[in-house]
Amino acid sequence: MHRIYHTNGRCPSFTGGALLLQADFSERRCILTDEQGFVWIGTRSGLGRFDGHELKKYIHHADDPHSLPHDLVLQIAEDEQYNIWILTDKGVARYQRQSDDFYLPTDEKGKNITAYSTCPTPEGLLFGAKNKIYFYSYRDGSFRLLQEFDQTPDFRNFNITILSLWDEETVLCCSRWQGLLLLNLKTGAYSRPPFDCGKEIMSMIIDSKNRIWIAPYNNGLYCFDRNGKQLASYTTRNSSLSNNVIL
């Protein structure tokens, strides 16, 4: 599965570089063009940064605490302060421009924090992890645990693969195998949303009109309003979709 993330419409010239990208990064998982115009490429074998002429590769080095925590890159994100965040299979890393290396936030036990998704807020950046949500604060630069879900049978192994703001106080959390949750960021209360698409969710997005689009596994695409009313559904039977599995 490939995800492509762009932060703006600007992109450096790829004259003479496209073939280089294809040759060195044949298994690209995610791409981001940052505010400065650099193209970041996440793969199974490391991270690349392309300036329009040269491609630099970053990989994990066991003896370097400021290298990538792992070579498998899951996602790349840029926050409102233009920090570049790399989500890998063994931890989160923030790129440090001055030293051209990475800062690795850790938990209360000093271990790397592995996250699978991000979501921007006016105050900082949310990170979705296994049964947890972390928060990076723009105000003081702290990286802390914001929410931990109870280990009940309904929420066990709730790996948060997608995060999206529901409103100013609430975030919609999606787990590939455990369905959806609504979390109040201020009170910590959480519950299922007012619609049910099962527990196997391939993808999810909230659009500019606050409609929620859900892609359950092998069931096409559904659209709901905030109150849980189904607005539309699309499958291979009633639309031009070629497959009911939507990535």
Q: What confidence category does residue 155 fall into, taking pLDDT thresholds of 50, 70 and 90?
A: confident
The predicted pLDDT at position 153 comes to 73
Q: What confidence category does residue 17 fall into, taking pLDDT thresholds of 50, 70 and 90?
A: very low
Q: What CA–CA distances, in Å, run from 199 to 45, 122, 177, 240? A: 31, 30, 5, 25
- pLDDT of 9 > 50? The answer is no
The predicted pLDDT at position 24 comes to 56
What is the average per-residue pLDDT within 151-174?
A: 89
pTM score, two decimals? 0.89
The predicted pLDDT at position 6 comes to 37
- pLDDT of 60 > 90? The answer is yes
Q: What CA–CA distances, in Å, run from 177 to 22, 29, 132? A: 32, 20, 15
Q: What confidence category does residue 216 fall into, taking pLDDT thresholds of 50, 70 and 90?
A: very high
- CB neighbourhood size of 77 (10 A): 23
Q: What confidence category does residue 15 fall into, taking pLDDT thresholds of 50, 70 and 90?
A: very low
> From CA 71, how far away is CA 154, in angstroms rounded?
32
The predicted pLDDT at position 152 comes to 76
Q: What confidence category does residue 156 fall into, taking pLDDT thresholds of 50, 70 and 90?
A: confident
The predicted pLDDT at position 25 comes to 59
Containing H/E element for 61?
Answer: none
- CB neighbourhood size of 218 (10 A): 12
- pLDDT of 98 > 70? The answer is yes
Q: Cα angle at 132 between 167 and 188, to 5 degrees?
A: 45
What is the average per-residue pLDDT within 91-112?
A: 96
The predicted pLDDT at position 13 comes to 46
> From CA 220, how far away is CA 216, in angstroms rounded?
7
